[in-house]
């Protein structure tokens, strides 16, 4: 929550093979928002985490609320597919 509010940043778990450019394009396409910057790290458990900072004219908290609402409406297996799509575009 702190990253969302203080840094206008969303956090995603992405495919370990996804690069910053692919992540930026996928987030832009899926959520129709402009991305300012992407930072990534690979966690000790092997998963890749992407910190996506939004452009100043977008509010990460608003986007997060829309995304979580969307995910709550989808069956669990579709949410997993949607998360994979973020890294495959």
Tell me the per-residue pLDDT of 3-33, one tens digit each, with 9 for 90 and over.
Answer: 677 888 888 888 888 999 999 999 898 889 9
Would you say residue 13 lies in a domain? Answer: yes
The pLDDT of residue 73:
45
Write out the two tokens for 39. Answer: 């930072």
The answer to whether residue 76 sits within a structural domain is: yes
Could you write out the three-class secondary structure of 22-85? HHHHHHHHHHCCCEEEEEEEECCCCCEEEEEEECCCCCHHHHHHHHHHHHHHCCHHHHHHHHHH
Does any domain span residue 2? no
CA distance 81 to 76: 9
Indicate the number of domains in the chain.
1
Q: What is the pLDDT of residues 25-78, one digit of tens each?
A: 998 988 899 999 999 999 999 989 999 999 999 988 888 877 764 454 444 444
Nearest to residue 13, comparing CAs of 38, 39, 47?
47
Domain with 74, as residue range(s), is 9-84
89 inside domain: no
- Residue 4 included in any domain: no
CATH number at residue 35: 3.30.70.330
């Amino acid at each position: 929550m702190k990253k969302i509010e203080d840094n206008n940043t969303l956090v995603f778990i992405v495919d370990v093979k996804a690069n910053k450019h692919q992540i930026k394009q996928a987030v832009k396409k899926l959520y129709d928002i402009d991305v300012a910057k992407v930072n990534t790290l690979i966690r000790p458990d092997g998963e890749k985490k992407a910190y996506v900072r939004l452009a100043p004219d977008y509010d990460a908290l608003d986007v997060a609320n829309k995304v979580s609402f969307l995910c709550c409406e989808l069956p669990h297996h579709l949410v997993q597919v949607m998360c994979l799509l973020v890294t495959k575009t």
